[in-house]
């Protein structure tokens, strides 16, 4: 005999009951689509390491983004891919008014005024050494100088029309500096700050670094991105960024760090939590599906379900174009 207190099946026997078991359900509004904007204004170039993704020139953005907006896309995150020769030790080109990010921001805000445009804020795409900040002569990070420069860049993206700035550099104290910069520039009421709070030094960023040409020329990012085993540092970083004025908290990568997503939801219960399903996760799922491990669609949907169950409200994913179709 099965005892009364053993019975679970009755709660999900009918298919209509199954979604009731979810705390959060995937909607189009949860999706943010990362886009690589190249300085080659007319080009639309497939990225070999990232199936179905392209580097998009400013003059090709409308044809890429327009159909997605028509399907319900609500937000994008922009990454710049500048010309090699503009790179210097300080990342001077990051906020070049004629550079890809500022040009793309202006264009998207004029063509699609309702679309939320977030700009990733970092220096690694623009520095000759490929690190995310400024360096001392001994090649360690000059945190103070880095934070000053990152705040300048974030404010310039905001002035160009960005609705959200998202610093991914992992310097200490940059949220406060950026928030203060937004206040001083008179844009703090209309520009939000998405904190890459728990960003780990992951093996999963490789395809992105190919796409953005942003690999470090020497050393690695382990002295500023978080050590993958560190739950405590992640929790401290989340709490710190809440104190420093972040509007949204992000965990990155997503799938290997679902415990951290749950921690973020618990530590910042009053903030939206974002999970970034990064380039290596995207490529892995694609290649596994191509190798017959599973069907792409159910696997992608399950990966989303897992992230939402862990506690996030926003998913930043390269699968956004497919998901907009599947959710229609």
Known binding residues for 5-aminolevulinate are 209, 221, 279, 318
191 binding Zn ion? (CB under 5 A): no
81 binding Zn ion? (CB under 5 A): no
Determine contact, residues 47/53, Cβ cutoff 8 Å. yes
179 catalytic? Reply is no
Task: Dihedral sign for Cα 139, 143, 144, 148, please.
Answer: positive
**Beta carbon nearer to Zn ion, 102 or 132:** 132
Q: Which among ligand PBG, Zn ion, none contacts residue 224 (Cβ within 5 to 8 A by kind)?
A: none
- Partnered with residue 251 across adjacent β-strands are 198, 275
208 binding ligand PBG? (CB under 6 A): yes
Q: How long a stretch of residues is the chain?
A: 328
Among 157, 205, 224, 257, binds ligand PBG (CB under 6 A): 205
308 binding ligand PBG? (CB under 6 A): no
**Beta carbon nearer to ligand PBG, 32 or 310:** 32
Minimum Å distance from CB 86 to ligand PBG? 17
From residue 159 to residue 178, what is the string marking binding to ligand PBG with x (rule CB under 6 A)?
Answer: ---------x----------
- Distance, CA of 291 to CA of 313 (rounded, Å): 31
- Distance, CA of 103 to CA of 98 (rounded, Å): 6
Which residue of the set 28, 199, 265, 297 is catalytic?
Answer: 199
Task: Dihedral sign for Cα 316, 322, 327, 328, please.
Answer: positive
252 catalytic? Reply is yes
- Distance, CA of 275 to CA of 288 (rounded, Å): 21
**What does the block give as tokens for 278?**
């990064």
Determine contact, residues 309/23, Cβ cutoff 8 Å. yes
**Beta carbon nearer to Zn ion, 112 or 126:** 126
Where do contacts with ligand PBG occur on this chain (CB under 6 A)? 120, 122, 124, 132, 168, 205, 208-209, 278-279
Catalytic (active-site) positions: 199, 252
């Amino acid at each position: 005999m099965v005892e009364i207190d053993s019975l679970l099946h009755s709660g999900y026997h009918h298919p209509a009951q199954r979604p009731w078991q979810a705390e959060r359900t995937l909607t189009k509004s949860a999706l943010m689509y990362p886009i690589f904007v190249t300085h080659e204004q007319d080009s639309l170039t497939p990225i070999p390491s990232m199936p179905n993704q392209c580097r998009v020139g400013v003059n090709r953005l409308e044809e890429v983004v327009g159909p997605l907006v028509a399907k319900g896309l609500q937000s994008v995150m922009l990454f710049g891919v500048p010309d090699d020769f503009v790179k210097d030790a300080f990342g001077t080109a990051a906020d070049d008014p004629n550079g890809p990010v500022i040009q793309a921001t202006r264009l998207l805000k004029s063509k699609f005024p309702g679309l939320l445009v977030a700009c990733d804020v970092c220096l690694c795409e623009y520095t000759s050494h490929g690190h995310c900040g400024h360096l001392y002569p001994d090649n360690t990070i000059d945190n103070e100088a880095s934070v000053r420069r990152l705040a300048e860049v974030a404010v310039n993206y905001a002035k160009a029309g960005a609705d959200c700035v998202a610093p991914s550099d992992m310097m200490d104290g940059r949220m406060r500096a950026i928030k203060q910069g937004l206040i001083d520039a008179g844009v703090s009421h209309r520009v939000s700050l998405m904190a890459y709070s728990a960003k780990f030094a992951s093996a999963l960023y490789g395809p992105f670094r190919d796409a953005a040409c942003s690999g470090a020329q020497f050393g690695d990012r382990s002295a500023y991105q978080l050590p993958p085993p560190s739950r405590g540092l992640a929790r401290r970083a989340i709490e710190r960024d809440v104190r420093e004025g972040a509007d949204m908290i992000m965990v990155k990568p997503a799938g290997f760090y679902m415990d951290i997503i749950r921690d973020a939801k618990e530590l910042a219960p009053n903030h939206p939590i974002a999970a970034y399903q990064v380039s290596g996760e995207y490529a892995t799922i694609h290649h596994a599906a191509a190798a017959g491990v599973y069907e792409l669609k159910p696997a992608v949907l399950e990966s989303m379900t897992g992230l939402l169950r862990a506690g996030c409200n926003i998913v930043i994913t390269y699968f956004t174009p497919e998901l907009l179709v599947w959710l229609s």
